[in-house]
Amino acid sequence: MVMTMNDSNTSDLAAPPRTADEGSRVVRAGFIPLVDASVLIATAEFGFAEREGIKLDLVKDVSWANVRDRLAFGQFDVAHMLSPMPVASMLGLGSNPSPTITPFSLGRGGNAITLSTRLFERMTATAGLSETAGALENARALAMVIKDMKARGETVPTLAMTYPFSSHNYEFRYWLAAGGIDPECDVKLVVVPPPLTSDALAAGAIDGFCVGAPWNMVASERGVGRIVAAKQDIWPSAPEKVLGMRPDWTESHTETVSRLVVALDAAARWCDRVENHDALAAALADPRYIAAPVQIIRHVLAGEFNLDAKGNRRVIDDYFRFHGGFANYPRPSQALWIYSQMVRWGQAEMSPANARAAASAYRPDLYRTALGGASGPPDADIRIEGDKDGDRFMDGHVFDPAHLADYVSGFAVRSIRPATPGTEDA
Amino acid sequence: MTSRTPKPASLSVLVIDENSIRASIIEVGLREAGYDNVTIIDDMNGLARRITEINPDVIVIDIENPNRDMLESIFQISRAVKRPIAMFVDKSDEDSIVAAVDAGVSAYVVDGLKKERVKPILEMAVSRFNAFSRLQRELAEARSALEERKIIDRAKGILMKMRGLSEEEAFALLRQTAMNEKKKIAEIAQSVVTAAGLLM
């Protein structure tokens, strides 16, 4: 297949030596229909896998628990996963924890928080919120509304995320807590599958949600929701989805893993280029993939947000980062940040052994093996996060992985229930 | 609470499916396989409470049902409602079922709804799940017992040093205080250790 790539990096076209027999190079990959599966879909759809001698079979699934189990049972070789899933698996959290690692992040961005238009109107009325209020102001306004609701004996809002071990869960909680809302007792957090969020909001079953693209925009364009925060407002560097795989499969397929990472890297560069977004949007909109209107996907890729149906718009630079800024590098300090949030919300215990297990889920060594030693970022794998302009946490906290316990106890709002030893499987 | 799985045939099965046609197909399959105690839930509202009320031995959910993640979340929040899950999928290979069984986990991928397959798989899902839960519980109890012993030993050491007591006297003091305050010895020991940390 002829590639339409302007990449100067063509010297790596020489076929790598076939060192060991790893069986067929058919790789079965599970995915959930979301825009952040773009790199994986582009790898299969635009010839990047083929160029590396891999046939990438994409299998659409409906739930993260299914993706996790089917990867564990060998029905999938690799899978599009939430960035906390490999971390949870290495910590033995969740129903069927099976070791999972990632050599490659599928990019950053894509999430947002949407509240029902009714709730947002109440926030505007109660807090005198302007139409251009930022993420933190919105969170504080919601805190005022919730206080009012509690005083009147009303039921607190029901808010949805996608999975207990999801970026959405931690980002939603981060945003709420930054506004002074305790996610454990000031709201009711539930799980709703992404494609159902917009309908659930319209039906009044939930009052808000945090989910990946394009579902926020789907709700705002329908006029049922108002986008109040994007992932970039909460922490721009937060990893979103990763490519998960079993450690044993990784070890027995080193050549395939390397080729796959090379293919994904090329696809990620391609996805970042604006001139490819029309082709990408068309592919993603296909019923085999996301099955959503191509126009919405095209806007999402451009970071053009219709915050509501009234015409309030916002453009977020790098709403999706598929490659730039080392977005694909599986940085262990980010795995540790995820772990810090698991401890913060009572999902995991604080211990040095757990911290080591969490960091081991992200495998920059495999990334560098495939793409060359100089492919990664120049700074340390475990670094201080959120201490630079343009990459700060919304509440101004700085994450130093060397002081995990202090970081967690430094949050005014955190879970009061400590994780019970040995019962993390609940 | 009804008693748990006295006889395999009386296994209580909860089918979760919003699609009533699909749910009834699963139900018929289960009844043909000899399961009479089948409940169907087609409404996800108050799911955790319904699971507690119905108290099923096993939950059956179609692999195409996205609400699987809702179940996952419910189990994460409350261990009390956690149940083995069996999933049905049309296309599946024998290897993956064997892998699932070997992994000792509670989720099963079953080849369609062939009635001769349903029964052993459901039963195995339950027994594996129970064994796994027991193991986890024993591990948790063992760990917490060890932690308690450590903290009591430290509190004894502090009392012996600061009040010049013998080991027996120190333990007797802890026990008496626990009885007076209607608390566990480990809790009193923890208070002693915390207080000593502040004072010393």
Q: What is the pLDDT of residues A205-230, one digit of tens each?
A: 899 999 998 889 889 988 999 999 99
* A425 has a pLDDT exceeding 60: no
* Mean pLDDT computed over A158-165: 94
The angle formed by the CA atoms of residues A43, A99 and A345, to the nearest 5 degrees, is 100
Q: Looking at the complex, does the CB of residue A191 fall below 8 Å from at least one CB of chain B? A: yes
* Mean pLDDT computed over A253-277: 97
Could you tell me the CA-to-CA distances from B165 to A176, B148, B178, B180, B184 in Å, in that order?
A: 51, 21, 18, 20, 21
Quick one: tokens of A211?
A: 């989910």
- The phi, psi pair for A94, rounded to 5°, reads 95, 175
Give buried/exposed letters for A232-243 (b at 16+ CB in 10 A, else e). Answer: bbbbbbbbbbbb
The answer on B31 and B112 residing in a single domain is yes
Report the CATH number of the A111-234 domain. 3.40.190.10
State how many domains chain B has.
Answer: 2
Measuring CA to CA, which residue among A236, A285, A284 is closest to residue A111?
A236
Listed by start position, the domains of chain A span 23-109+240-288+323-409, 111-234
Residue type, A147: K
Q: Looking at the complex, does the CB of residue B100 fall below 8 Å from at least one CB of chain A? A: yes
Q: Within 13 Å of residue A62, how many CA atoms lie on the same side as its CB? A: 12
Q: What is the pLDDT of residue A6?
A: 40
Q: What is the pLDDT of residue B139?
A: 74
Give the range of the structural domain holding residue B190, as residue numbers without chain letter.
142-199
Residue after which a domain boundary falls, among B88, B117, B139? B139
The answer on B170 and B127 residing in a single domain is no
Q: Looking at the complex, does the CB of residue A65 fall below 8 Å from at least one CB of chain B? A: yes
Is residue B25 in a domain? Answer: yes
Of B69, B96, B97, the CB nearest to A162: B69
Measuring CA to CA, which residue among A335, A301, A330, A303 is closest to residue A316?
A303
The answer on B189 and B116 residing in a single domain is no
Measuring CA to CA, which residue among A68, A90, A27 is closest to residue B100?
A68
Contact: B68, A96; criterion CB under 8 Å = no
* A56 has a pLDDT exceeding 70: yes
Classify strands A158-161 and A188-191 as parallel, antiparallel or unpaired.
parallel
Task: Report d(CA B120, CA A257) in Å as an integer.
Answer: 37
Q: CATH says A23-109+240-288+323-409 is which class?
A: alpha beta
Cα A78 off chain centre by: 17
Quick one: tokens of A247?
A: 């450690």
Q: Percent of chain A scored above 70 by pLDDT? A: 92
Residue after which a domain boundary falls, among B120, B139, B158? B139
The angle formed by the CA atoms of residues A48, A50 and A52, to the nearest 5 degrees, is 80
- Residues with Cβ within 8 Å of A40's Cβ and at least 6 positions away in sequence, in order, are A29, A31, A56, A58, A80, A106, A243, A264, A267
* Mean pLDDT computed over A84-107: 93
Task: Report d(CA B77, CA B54) in Å as an integer.
Answer: 18
pLDDT tens, position by position, A287-311: 999 988 999 899 999 988 888 878 8
Note down pLDDT in tens along chain B; length 200 residues.
Answer: 344 444 445 678 888 887 777 677 777 777 777 788 889 888 877 888 888 888 888 888 877 778 888 888 888 777 777 777 776 654 445 555 555 555 444 445 455 555 566 666 667 667 666 766 677 677 777 778 888 888 899 999 999 998 899 999 999 999 999 999 888 888 899 888 888 877 76
Measuring CA to CA, which residue among A283, A224, A274 is closest to residue A46?
A283
Please state whether B131 falls in left (phi above 0), alpha (psi between -120 and 50) or beta: alpha
The sign of the CA dihedral A87, A91, A95, A98 is positive
Is residue B83 in a domain? Answer: yes
Is residue B1 in a domain? Answer: no
The answer on B149 and B52 residing in a single domain is no
The answer on B103 and B12 residing in a single domain is yes
Per-chain mean pLDDT for chain A: 90
Q: What is the pLDDT of residue B29?
A: 72
Residue of B43, B62, B76 to mutate, interface with A, max A Cβ within 10 Å: B76
Is residue B45 in a domain? Answer: yes
Q: ipTM value of the model?
A: 0.77
Cβ A103 vs Cβ A243: under 8 Å = yes
Is residue B38 in a domain? Answer: yes
The answer on B103 and B19 residing in a single domain is yes
- With contacts defined as CB-CB under 8 Å, which chain B residues touch A347? 76
The answer on B149 and B131 residing in a single domain is no
Give buried/exposed letters for A351-360 (b at 16+ CB in 10 A, else e). Answer: eeebbebbbb
Is residue B69 in a domain? Answer: yes
Higher local confidence (pLDDT), B8 or A187: A187
* Mean pLDDT computed over A167-185: 96
The answer on B146 and B134 residing in a single domain is no
The answer on B20 and B108 residing in a single domain is yes
Q: What is the pLDDT of residue A1?
A: 34
Residue of B17, B71, B73 to mutate, interface with A, max A Cβ within 10 Å: B73
The answer on B150 and B76 residing in a single domain is no
* A18 has a pLDDT exceeding 50: no
The answer on B152 and B128 residing in a single domain is no
Q: What is the pLDDT of residue B124?
A: 65
Q: What is the pLDDT of residue B96?
A: 53
Query: Three-state SS for A277?
Result: helix
Of A73, A94, A190, the CB nearest to B99: A73
Q: How far is B14 from chain A (nearest CA, A)?
A: 18
pLDDT tens, position by position, A352-386: 999 999 999 999 999 999 999 889 999 999 999 99
Q: Where are the beta strands (DSSP E) in A70-122?
A: 78-82, 101-105, 108-109, 111-116
CATH number of the structural domain spanning residue B193 = 1.10.10.10
Q: Looking at the complex, does the CB of residue A74 fall below 8 Å from at least one CB of chain B? A: yes
The answer on B146 and B104 residing in a single domain is no
Residue after which a domain boundary falls, among B139, B158, B176? B139
Which of the 8 DSSP states describes residue B2?
P
